[in-house]
Amino acid sequence: MKTTQVVMPHAGGPEVLEIAERDLPEPGPGQVRLKVEATGVAFAEVQMLRGRYYAQPKFPFVPGYDLVGEVEAAGPGVTLDGRVAAMTRTGAWSERVVLPAAHLVPVPEDLDAAEVVALITNGVTAYQMIHRVAKVAEGQTVLVHGAAGGVGTLLVRLALRAGARVIGTASPGKHDKVREMGAIPLDYRDPLLVERVRQHAPGGVAAVFDHAAGPGLKRSWAALGRGGILIVYGSAATLDDKGWRMMPFVSAMGRLIWWSLLPNGRRGRFYSINHKNHFDEDLATVIDLLRKGELQPQVAARLPLAEAPEALRMLDDRAVVGKIVLKP
């Protein structure tokens, strides 16, 4: 069976993406073949295209961090069928995929595939940072950087659901959206950002969720109150850096370790999603919250798979609120 895929052949701009067709093998033991309904677009793919993502494979490769699909065929020893969600890290920008059956989470037939995709990597990331890492509690104030992004919008909603007050940074053009979600909007480029945060939380915030790292990390740390935690989960601010692509993560981790050793009651943590540490359980939880109407992801755009270059341009331009989804 053949499948159409989007390929990143080498580093460059969105225009270098290629549409290719290749033969798909039959699923082997412990595998399934899925017909993809929807697949997500993340800032990680913008970084991959520049060769700047810490966990990317060598070029050429098929990107695509997550998907919702229907089981078409199962290999020996697999009884799974129906509709499922998967975090793939790469390979999901395809009409069909063959994947291990492990860590595939059932998806109710009545849910919108694009909304579920918006909850796979982004939703589990936000849920785990709020509930398993920061342990946000009622009455606390937290700071969410990139509050209009795919993860940021979910961080805002989950923190509010936990009873916290949320300060969200975004560009001024997105402040109305941040305010509509129930958060206090601030401009992340404001040189007095820490002072603005302290106006709303004089003692500092209980948690900061930082997707950017880079030079702004010091301001995130300065916004914390005693006992607070800074969680770094990306390096968007270092997209145009040169040199070793791991350097932003090594640098950020070194700072977090050093700062956490200081006797000031604050701590730092680097978060990276993986299939361990309750992934299946937490993905099932956020899907159930969607089913109950308690968590609504923001789908910024739904584009055909062939328009993947446009999707990356939109993300690179910081022009969207929420998640972009590709529909094969």
Return the percentage of the chain with pLDDT > 90, whole number: 86
The answer to whether residue 114 sits within a structural domain is: no
Same domain, yes or no: 168 and 231: yes
Same domain, yes or no: 102 and 134: no
pLDDT band at 245 (very low <50, low <70, confident <90, very high): confident
Mean pLDDT, residues 100-126 taken together: 97
Same domain, yes or no: 207 and 303: no
Look at 133-142, 194-203, 247-256 and tell me which has the smallest mean pLDDT.
Answer: 247-256
Same domain, yes or no: 234 and 310: no
For position 237, what pLDDT does the model report? 67
Count of structural domains within the chain: 2
Task: Kindly state the tokens that stand for 291.
Answer: 């089913």
Same domain, yes or no: 158 and 256: yes
Same domain, yes or no: 132 and 166: yes
Predicted TM-score (pTM) of this structure: 0.95
The answer to whether residue 283 sits within a structural domain is: no
Mean pLDDT, residues 236-261 taken together: 80
The answer to whether residue 113 sits within a structural domain is: no
Mean pLDDT, residues 221-243 taken together: 87
**pLDDT over 70 (residue 126):** yes
**pLDDT over 80 (residue 249):** no
Same domain, yes or no: 145 and 243: yes
**pLDDT over 90 (residue 129):** yes
The answer to whether residue 292 sits within a structural domain is: no
User: In whole angstroms, what separates CA 165 from the centre of its chain?
Assistant: 22
End residue of a domain, out of 229, 252, 270: 270
Same domain, yes or no: 208 and 261: yes
Rounded to whole angstroms, the Cα distance separating 292 from 294 reads 5
Same domain, yes or no: 41 and 180: no
Q: Could you tell me which of 27, 31, 24 has the C-alpha nearest to residue 3?
A: 24
The answer to whether residue 281 sits within a structural domain is: no
**pLDDT over 80 (residue 166):** yes
**pLDDT over 80 (residue 238):** no
Same domain, yes or no: 140 and 242: yes
Same domain, yes or no: 265 and 128: yes
pLDDT tens-digit series, residues 106-118: 999 999 999 999 9
**pLDDT over 80 (residue 134):** yes
pLDDT band at 309 (very low <50, low <70, confident <90, very high): very high
Looking at per-residue pLDDT, the higher value among 243 and 325 belongs to 325
Q: How far is CA 125 from CA 4, 30, 148, in A?
A: 29, 26, 15
Look at 24-33, 191-200, 250-259 and tell me which has the smallest mean pLDDT.
Answer: 250-259
For position 319, what pLDDT does the model report? 79
**pLDDT over 90 (residue 250):** no
pLDDT tens-digit series, residues 27-70: 999 999 999 999 999 999 999 999 999 889 999 999 999 999 99
HEC profile of the chain: CEEEEEEECCCCCHHHCEEEEEECCCCCCCEEEEEEEEEEECHHHHHHHCCCCCCCCCCCECCCCEEEEEEEEECCCCCCCCEEEEECCCCCCECEEEEECCCCEECCCCCCHHHHHCCCHHHHHHHHHHHHHCCCCCCCEEEECCCCCHHHHHHHHHHHHCCCEEEEEECHHHHHHHHHHCCEEEECCCCCHHHHHHHHCCCCEEEEEECCCHHHHHHHHHCEEEEEEEEECCCHHHCCCCCCCCHHHHHHHHHHHHHHHCCCCCEEEECCCCCCCCHHHHHHHHHHHHHCCCCCCCEEEEEEHHHHHHHHHHHHCCCCCCEEEEEC
Mean pLDDT, residues 163-169 taken together: 98
Task: Give the CATH number for residue 170.
Answer: 3.40.50.720
Same domain, yes or no: 16 and 61: yes
The answer to whether residue 115 sits within a structural domain is: no
Residue 44 phi/psi, 5-degree rounding, is -55, -35
Mean pLDDT, residues 186-201 taken together: 97
Looking at per-residue pLDDT, the higher value among 46 and 244 belongs to 46
Task: Give the CATH number for residue 43.
Answer: 3.90.180.10
Q: In which domain, by residue range, is 99 found?
A: 2-107+298-326
The answer to whether residue 293 sits within a structural domain is: no
**pLDDT over 80 (residue 230):** yes
**pLDDT over 90 (residue 104):** yes
The answer to whether residue 34 sits within a structural domain is: yes
**pLDDT over 80 (residue 241):** no
